[in-house]
Amino acid sequence: AQSVTQPDIHITVSEGASLELRCNYSYGATPYLFWYVQSPGQGLQLLLKYFSGDTLVQGIKGFEAEFKRSQSSFNLRKPSVHWSDAAEYFCAVAMNRDDKIIFGKGTRLHILP
Partner 1 sequence: DAGITQSPRHKVTETGTPVTLRCHQTENHRYMYWYRQDPGHGLRLIHYSYGVKDTDKGEVSDGYSVSRSKTEDFLLTLESATSSQTSVYFCASSAGQQETQYFGPGTRLLVL
User: Which range of residues in 15-23, 31-39, 52-60, 70-78 is near partner 1 by CB under 8 A?
Assistant: 31-39
CA angle 95, 33, 100 (to 5 degrees): 45
Q: Which of 28, 52, 53, 100 touches partner 1 by CB under 8 A?
A: 100
DSSP structure class, residue 57: E
98 forms beta bridges with none
Stretch that binds partner 1, among 15-23, 41-49, 57-65, 79-87 (CB under 8 A): 41-49
Q: How far is the CB of 36 from partner 1 (least distance, A)?
A: 8
* Shortest reach from residue 46's CB to partner 1, in Å: 5
- Residue (4 or 81) nearer to partner 1, CB: 4
Do 68 and 62 contact (CB within 8 A), yes or no? no
The answer to whether residues 88 and 109 touch, using CB atoms and an 8 Å cutoff, is yes
